[in-house]
Structure 1
Amino acid sequence: MARRPKWWHALQDSKNEVRLAVDLYNRSGTERQLEAFIVHVTMGWLKLLQAHFEKSGQNIYIRNERGHRVRHPDDGGFKHRSLRDLSEEFFAPNDPRKANLEFFTGLRNQIEHRYERDIAALVAGRTQAYLLNYEQTVVELFGEDEGLADELRFPLFLSSITGDAVDSIKKVRERVPRGVVEWVQDYDTGVEAGIAEDQRYEFKVYLIPTPDRKQKPMPP
């Protein structure tokens, strides 16, 4: 059996990180679910781009002025380029996936565990987009056979569509620490309107209830 290329192993590691992220997020009673989700999906993104760059023959290492790979002073391994660096090269500047990825890179440092559930509700649409963007990119780069859609039950975050929906969202925002809310608002201010409205930046679902036809009275 032929030996698998290095990029293939990086891709499988990437998908395993995302599998773990979804499992931890959906597991009832697990603390720090949002942080765990962000950490592992972000790692999945890093390994995904590394796999793509490796397969394409592009550089994934930090190099010195002479073009030589730089080693870590501690373990002697080669230093890899950061996710930010790879994403800057991979995505177009106006790609909503890039804005969504950068949002979660920054949000991780803002999470306060006491309020994590409220923060999760505040950014639910972007959390969904973070996951769907990953799946879209995997399929684009490596084909449907490498996708996870048939394997995982992706979480779907629904906001209430009742008349109290706006009040519910306001109450959530009131519970979230002011510093986190201000950080989210500041980030949104810097996002172009076209990107902010894109489903790849923040996934939004609108449900329209319909009457059950079985309950309709029969015509005379």
Structure 2
Amino acid sequence: MPRLRRGPITCDLLVKSREAAMQAVQAFNNPLATFRTEAFIVLMVISWTYLMHAYFRKAGIEYRYYDQKTMRKRFHLTQGGTYRYWELERCLIEEKCPLDPAMKSNLRFLIGLRHEIEHHQSAGVDEQFAGRYLACCLNYERVLVEQFGDKFSLGTALGYVLQFRDLTAPILATEAKNPLPAEVARYVQQFESELPEDEFQSPYFSYRLLFVRKLTSKRGQADRAIEFISADSDLAKTIDKDYWVLREVERPKHRASEIVKMMKAEGFPWFTMGSHTALWRELDGKNPGKGYGIGIAGQWLWYDKWIDAVRASCKADLQRQELIESVIKN
């Protein structure tokens, strides 16, 4: 029976994995490229597949397809007579796969997205899911270093991306976003509706940042293009230098079904999806100007501000009911 051997083959897998990852980032950052997302996903899937194979080989886990009706394994072969190895989707369901659940969801999302845009238009996908592409890269670097050490890190392999557009609020606010094709929008809505809330909010699934610019009038204090500090640190409140303060841009978002469960758990058993729909219509909750939530890929998600409004409404309903019952008793 053929056995997996460690050593040079593992290193070869890592070399291929790292090269595919670098080519993926270069393809996405190429301003002349038209199919950036497609190229990025294809190359990152190849990169992750090699990385998982290297991990399984190191751990002594068989990652070739086979049947075992007797004591002897019968390995599956390709038409060319070589072994059939696990594709990435199969690697992700392996019990000993080292990835965080949100990392797996990120990869499954990208694989499914590629299937949707493979033979259709892909307008809008470059911009709308950039946070998920970035999370894919950061997850890859994290797993690569954790499993094989700093010597394989890609952290210094690629430098800053230079561009011709300033990151100012007016420019970003007026930048037009292409609507997603209907097939892609349906896929995104279906995928996210089945995703656990903790994975949906995880930076391993989508990495979201906000850069808040602070200008300086002093010379010699802006040699570096970007410096990062904690947004809530004392330094961020007092410095007078050219800093870009790093903090999370996305507030927590919640589905309507989650809010209904939350209200029931807090002692408002009468609150249903119908109650929720009636309330947001009454309060014009989906008016973007009120800041209660945001529409993403055809699905409306609610901020904590809306939960506070729902909770206040439920408490008011409870007080009215208690008052009515008190009057009836008297």
| TM-score normalized with structure 1 length | 0.83
Amino acid at match of 1:182: R
Give me the identity figure in percent: 25
- Displacement of 1:161 after TM fit? 7.2
Q: Partners of 2:10 and 2:85 in 1: how far apart?
A: 14
DSSP-derived class of the 2:22 partner: helix
> What is the aligned partner in structure 2 of residue 132 from structure 1?
138
Match of 1:108 in 2: 114
> Which runs of 5 or more structure 1 residues have no equivalent in the other structure?
none
1:40-119 matched pairs, under 5 angstroms: 40-65=43-68, 66=70, 67-89=72-94, 90-91=96-97, 95-111=101-117, 115-116=121-122, 118-119=124-125
Aligned equivalent of 1:203: 207
Conserved in 2, the CA contact under 8 Å of 1:61 and 1:69?
no
Q: 1:125 to 1:36 in 2, by over 3 A?
A: same
CA apart distance, 1:212:
2.2
Shift in Å, 1:172: 2.2
Task: Give the equivalent residue in structure 2 for 1:11.
Answer: 14
Name the structure with the higher strand share.
Answer: 2
Distance 2:77 2:145 in 1: 33
Tell which deviates more after alignment, 76-85 or 133-142.
76-85
Superimposed CA distance per residue, residues 71-120 of structure 1 (whole angstroms, 9 cap, x where no aligned partner): 32511111112211212224479621111011001000112688535211
- Identify the structure with the greater helix proportion: 1
> Which structure's relative contact order is higher, taking Cα pairs within 8 Å and 6+ residues apart?
1
Q: Does residue 183 of structure 1 match 2:190?
A: no
Shift of the 186–165 alpha-carbon distance from structure 1 to 2, 3 Å rule, reads farther
Question: What SS does structure 2 have at the residue aligned with 1:207?
Answer: strand
Unaligned runs of 5+ in 2: 1-5, 220-239, 241-330
- The amino acid of 2:107's aligned partner reads L
Q: TM-score, normalised by structure 2?
A: 0.57
- Higher-Rg structure is 2
> 2:24 touches 2:41 (CA, 8 Å); kept in 1?
yes
* Structural RMSD (CA): 3.0
Match of 1:148 in 2: 154
